[in-house]
Amino acid sequence: MLKLIGFIVSILLIIIIFLRTPQENVGLSSFATKSNILGSPRSAERFLNILTAIGIFIYLSIALAINLTF
């Protein structure tokens, strides 16, 4: 069960990382502001930072628990 949850969290972390818009790439950042997928760029970046930190904490906790049980 923990392996399945760990797999899902790792996939979600990969998706979150791909959602992040590079600051130096004008084309992608203008697309993100025009499409308004995640709201304003500042709030979207803050939300993704928090979500990424929580996801990493959950992933590390699950990985530690899996390693301690086997």
Q: What is the pLDDT of residues 3-59, one digit of tens each?
A: 899 899 999 888 888 877 665 555 555 555 555 555 666 777 788 889 889 999 999
Radius of gyration of the chain (CA): 15
Structural domain for 36, as ranges: 2-69
**Predicted pLDDT of residue 54:** 94
DSSP percent split of the chain into helix, strand, coil, nearest 5: 80, 0, 20
Q: What is the pLDDT of residue 23?
A: 58
Query: What domain count does the chain have?
Result: 1
